[in-house]
């Protein structure tokens, strides 16, 4: 796929994920629109949404990612109680599954 075509598709998926995460957290930032690969093959981030939680010294970060762990949107920093509430709502209202693998973040 051509770079700009993949980027446009990925940007739409990132925007949708950001809007969804904002609905549950109050604020979310866009993350990665393209899959991380080592060759010159360009693919947009996947359509599916899974949530992932990362614990840092500042609190918890919640990310929406595809099945490969490519983060599409992130929201940070939450207390454990806030994290539990947000994750509970994502599971109950969106029937969203948790991603447990290595998460690719825009760092």
Which sequence spans correspond to the domains of the chain?
3-94
Q: Is the pLDDT of residue 9 over 80?
A: yes
Rounded CA gap, 102 and 16, in Å?
Answer: 22
Rounded CA gap, 49 and 69, in Å?
Answer: 10
Q: Is the alpha carbon torsion for 20, 21, 25, 31 positive or negative? A: negative
Residue in this structure with the two tokens 């693919």, named with its chain if needed: 43
Query: What pLDDT, in 10s, does the model give residues 35-90?
Result: 977 787 899 999 999 999 999 999 999 999 999 999 999 999 999 999 999 999 99
């Amino acid at each position: 796929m051509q770079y700009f075509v993949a980027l446009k598709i990925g940007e739409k998926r990132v925007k949708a994920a950001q809007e969804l995460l904002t609905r549950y957290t109050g604020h979310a930032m866009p993350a990665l629109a393209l899959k991380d690969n080592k060759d010159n093959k360009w693919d947009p981030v996947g359509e599916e949404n899974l949530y992932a939680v990362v614990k840092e010294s500042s609190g918890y970060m919640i990310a929406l990612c595809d099945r490969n762990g490519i983060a599409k949107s992130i929201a940070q920093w939450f207390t454990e109680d806030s994290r539990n509430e947000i994750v509970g709502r994502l599971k109950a209202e969106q029937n969203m599954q948790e991603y447990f693998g290595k998460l690719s973040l825009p760092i």
